[in-house]
Every structure is written in structure tokens, then in C-alpha cells.
Amino acid sequence: DSGVTQTPKHLITATGQRVTLRCSPRSGDLSVYWYQQSLDQGLQFLIQYYNGEERAKGNILERFSAQQFPDLHSELNLSSLELGDSALYFCASSVGLATYNEQFFGPGTRLTVL
């Protein structure tokens, strides 16, 4: 158990809908990261927050947004969903900003868009 929790574990929704994925980092970790894992794209970094501020952006679509709250939990919002958004979404956390910090991954949320 990494100490990172993600809810829900599974989510099934329809095209055009909006969903929110939630992540609670390990106790003491200030950085939260979001990743998307799909069969065709592999694992891709989406976005990083550190202590409430956005710090790095990857291949995140404009239809997607995220935020980190004062209690350090984070939410990833996916809107106008398309079939291609079906994927496993991982959250990870680390103690600091630096790239050499170990990232601890949650179990993921599996999103299915029908």
C-alpha cells in the first residue's frame, strides 16, 4: 500500500459527460501528479501540483483540468468526454518538487466512456 488513495476505483459514463477523479496524497507529501495510462498512448504525465500551485504540465487536454486544495488532496476534472478518454488515471505524490524524488502511485481510477 503506497499511502496514496484514489476514488472511485471504476467509473463508467457516456460521451459528452463530465467526471471528477479524486486523489489523497501520502501524509506529508506536497506534490501531486496525474497520469493517464492507455493501450495506445502508454503512460503519460498530465500535470503536477505542489502545495496548491500548478508546477508542471504535460500532455493534458484543454477539456481536462485539475486543482489541489488546501488540505493537499487533488481533483482531476474531465469534461466533454470522448471514447478515447477511456483509460486508467493514476495519481502519484512525492515529498517535494525535485525530479529525483520518488513518486508514490495510487491504485488508479479506471474510466470507461461508452
Partner 1 sequence: AQSVTQLDSHVSVSEGTPVLLRCNYSSSYSPSLFWYVQHPNKGLQLLLKYTSAATLVKGINGFEAEFKKSETSFHLTKPSAHMSDAAEYFCVVSPNAGGTSYGKLTFGQGTILTVHP
Binding site for partner 1 (CB under 8 A): 2, 4, 31, 33, 42-45, 48, 50, 55-58, 90, 92, 94, 97-108
Taking the complex as a whole, the smallest distance from the CB of residue 98 to partner 1 amounts, in Å, to 7
- Indicate the residue among 14 and 40 with the shorter CB distance to partner 1: 40
Dist. CA 99–CA 97, nearest whole Å = 7
Taking the complex as a whole, the smallest distance from the CB of residue 78 to partner 1 amounts, in Å, to 19
CA distances from 43 to 10, 58, 89, 91, 110 (A): 18, 11, 9, 12, 13
Strand 74-78 relative to strand 19-24: parallel, antiparallel, unpaired? antiparallel
Taking the complex as a whole, the smallest distance from the CB of residue 28 to partner 1 amounts, in Å, to 16
